[in-house]
Structure 1
Amino acid sequence: MKKLYTLIIILWVAFSSQAQVVISQVYGGGGNTGATFTNDFIELFNRGTVAQDLTGWSVQYASSTGTTWAVTNLTNVTLAPGKYYLVQQAAGSTPSTALPTPDATGTLAMSGTSGKVLLANVTTAQTGSNPTGSQIIDFVGFGTANAFEGTAAVAALTNSTAAIRLNGGCTDNNQNSTDFSTGTPTPRNSSTATNTCSTSPSLAIASPTGGTIYSPITTSANVALSISNFVVGNPGTGIDGHIHYTVNGGGVVMKYDTAPIALTGLTPGNYTVYVELVNNSHAPITPAVNATVTFTIAAYNVVANLGALRAHVTANGAGKYYQISSNPVVTFKRATRNQKYIQDGTAAIVIDDATTAPGVITTTMNVGDAVSGLKGQSLLFNGLLELTPIENATVASTGNTVTPQVVTIANVLANFENYESELVQITGVTFDATATNFAANANTPITAPTASVFRSNFSATEVDYIGQAIPTTPRTIIAFPGENTVSVPSPSIYFVARSLAELNVLSSTSFDNINGLTMYPNPLSGNTLYLTSTANAAMSIEVYDLLGKEVLKANVVNNAVNVAKLTVGVYVVKIIEDGKIATRKLVIQ
């Protein structure tokens, strides 16, 4: 999906038409996961030259499309010029850093992404989606808000970003989209040092925020500027000058109007845009007024397989973009966020593809389909590694099967990243249930003999065991290991199954019963694998990749077998000795 960021250059507006006291900062992510502060807040600023009595004033909040406004009354205080006023709002459920001492407190639970905030000189709750009238002193819409000042709302916020009015709160061209930028919340109260607003020309870059990284499919990006106390246009009466800008130090471009400056034909790389105000003779005004922003069009990290993707995330952190060369197989699909569990011969991951169907991947995919051309961004959701696709993918083949790895709970807990979201098979699982039936999004302790948690992560429309009786006898199960740092007791690793049948897997009595079996070294970086057992009888092995394809079959001679033909990856080794069978996972480095 191509992203387009509109460049809007605002003409100077007479000061008399602008509010003296303005909303200078809005933050709604307080107390959410990853929040910067525990509480939401609204910050006000007196950008004028005289004090303002706030007695009988209020700040009010409504949802992005709401018509009902919740009210927080301000204290009876006179706000001096250049001073801030901090209104603390509701706290979330995940405590973080406390706000500076607030000047007023309320209970507004604001959205962390989209909403509307107004400042009124009355305490009466406003009505309608876009209240107007002399009682409205200032108005800010952010994210998907259906009302705002000017032509567009402030960009969507996050749990770690706020809407911040430029120039310390001084900029007010009655344009939310260019009067504000988004960035790290910096709440200020009445004790903060005075910030005196200048009447001199000013220039600020409202978007993108410096250091912004756009996806590899972005080919166009525009820079939004906010200009105060300076009239842009062709030379003539009342015109102060125009704009010069450069991209990556290239030729100077002269701009005499307010039309968007569209940067097109962009390819992956870094871009620096320098903008300055010049007079009608093309000379920089005195004192100089300029601004610079740097942003990046990301490149794909091309990885051979999901194991390589996971290794790159471990080394470099989540948030990077990837192109996967292998064809992972879909092992489970669900309607929730169009999620798909996929797995290749090295590892697995969950595709998280938007909130509405069909998502970015419009190709219909079913369990057993191999996915080709997968491209997306990695992210961590409560500890679980996911991939958000940014382009459509296709089906390379159908009818593929994935053989679950035979492991123990202890194996998974000791090296979770090697197993996350992969199909595994665990023998001797006991459900230590206090409830009678499986319930959606409920945790049930399990042991085998190591303790862990079975989590009914999927809904009743996605799996058939919700509402069914929790087993009371030991059994073999097939499940996905997952992680949830919010909803699962420590350690935050859980197991979740695809079906009721996989909570009672049939196995032969000879399964995994070779006494004293050892297989080493594992992980293996050389060419020789060693196997021993108590019986020390004739032994053979069959090696399968994680798609169930046999890749090696050999006899064990003098407790050793040559596996030089195996490439780097994860395999399942089937060991046969005197009619007894065991399986082990083998990692080749």
Structure 2
Amino acid sequence: MKHFYSIIITALFSCIAYSQVTELYISKYGEGSSNHKFLEIYNGTNADIDLSNYSVSSCSNGCNTTGEFDYPDNIIFAAGTIIQSGDVYVITHGSADPSIHSDQTFTYLSNGDDFMALTLAGATASDYTIIDALGDMGPDPGNGWEVAGISNGTQNHTLTRKSTVCGPNPTPLASFGTNSEDSEWIVGESNSGWDTVGSYDGCVSGPILTITSPSNNQEFDSGTTSVIVSVSVANFNIGELNSGADGHIHWTINNQEQPMKYDTLDETINVADGESYSIYMELVDDSHQAISPAVNQTVSFEVNFPCDLYIDTINSSCDSNTAENSDTYSTSLSFTGGGTTSYVIDTGGVGTIEGDDPSVTPEGVIIISGVPENTDYVVSFTGDPSNSSCNFIRSISSPNCNPSIALPYNDPFDYPDGSLTSYPNWNNFSGNEGDLLVTNGQAIVQHGTPSEDAGVTFDPVEGVIYYAFDFSVNDPGNPISGSDFEYFALFKDDGFNYRARIDIVSANDAASDFTVGISTKNGTADVIWPGDLDFETTYRATVKYDQAQNTTQLWINADGETDPSIYGNDEDDPGTTITQFGLRQSDSSANEGILIDNLTITQTFNETLNNNEFSDLDYSFILFPNPSVSGIISIKSNKLGEIKSQVFDLLGKELINTKIKNQKLDLSDLSSGIYIIRLTQGNLIWSKKFIKQ
């Protein structure tokens, strides 16, 4: 196993005071809020360099194997990607703030505890050449690594390489140092230094003055009464007059002169809410004249006004629940901290804002009513900027306003090709509506570009609950590899608490196609099925979730509950009250397609048994003739009891709702076309495509 570090570079680095920059190195790193992440690479050499000879290799949450990359050559560069002498190349997250300079985007930048290294192209997990390193190749450090004596310096901070640094440092952790003096990095606050990204000067031999704290444009929370000002000086000796030092520091706060500084010790200044401050520092000689060329820096910051308004509980409920798409819903937002300033509440024109007014009421409930179902929106709250820093949003998601159904629920997906959510009972709960499709009588969950997640809502029940379906995985050309772990089916509550997730994962034997995993609560599989499965082959998966015990169980091709199964983690009791079954699409390493058929949601294992015929549930309907010219059709059941019928068009609009009389259903008034007939007898709900000729 080869661990090849750039020893020649290390030797050059030890002589930086006299050496020319001879290699690329990382000049800035940002891990901020949301996806505001970036990595800047600096070329301080005298030549233009083709980045295709380099890569960025990484580990996720520490390295799975000490000394080996989880993701070698994770970021690569196209041939002819030139970084000119004295220039930088910036990689940002695709959703980073647009004000951050960017030359290339990459999704999986560090979360603070992910080792990242500039490497020579062609790196493998165990055979690589590290040029420059951020972190180390050991276990997960937790939230991040300490930098310059600052805990978790690689998380929620911006790191800027000191301009005196003349080359990379390939030794893990070595560049971080133990304090601000021996570290190669200046540690800035989260989301700071964005205006400097895209330019950098390294290996500077002349005098340098850097205000290391506060960061430029930093915002301090309301209630902050003092701020510490820190300064670093290099290549210039600071001292008293006539002491033999090179000079000292002149500085101002908001253009007001401050006592001259004859050291680089921290200064503490008093601040107040709502005020802005500008700190200016410059290097001067013993005659109090600015040195030439001038060396100075200005940093601005502010202390926010308070934001007293707090939005507490948010609840959304349907004003009605029908099969039509014309229902509306209302949302209540309870608040405290009102009555201290004036507030503007904006929904972008969605719904009607009613209820209590936080501008005059200390606490109460805001109501947003009359919002069309399936409409998600954002409500913003803005305080008076003259005395409030409130400026925040809350995202509101539509509840499912379709009538819920009783269990058991069966769905053979016997629909014409098209969007699954255009048919009865299925509704979008996330992603791009309309791109989870039905094809050839099966639902297809396609990982990759499609993003819709769709579900069926049913009446909640107590205790255990099952879902089962037939599934097959289309052959993507190669076995599922890596940590795919993209779940495609699940139970959920009325919100976004997902339970009993089933995943497609890499096989136990690398030569096999795939297998499946199950998770009680986590986003990745707790345990995987011990047998390997084949592409283009149909299997029946049965999943049990115990709502009281918060446990999950999985069977494949089981004939009975005592057949072999696997268990997900036993999570904290109690579990989650389940109200929906969902199918999920997302990106995965293979972006495989999964065909789903003959879905059953029920409270008993026996009712999940299915061999592609509903009669195996000891329950069957007969509907004939189909197609029909007259529209008069016969409907028979092998059980006694009243049968109710609903007829829907392909847009999900209910056209007929009637009881079956004398085993006949009269659809003669319908125009020629394709319809969905849903029959309900007792707790059984059965759907069938019908063609009127």
TM range (shorter): 0.3 to 0.5
Larger radius of gyration: 2
Q: Which protein has greater RCO, CA pairs closer than 8 Å, 6+ apart?
A: 1
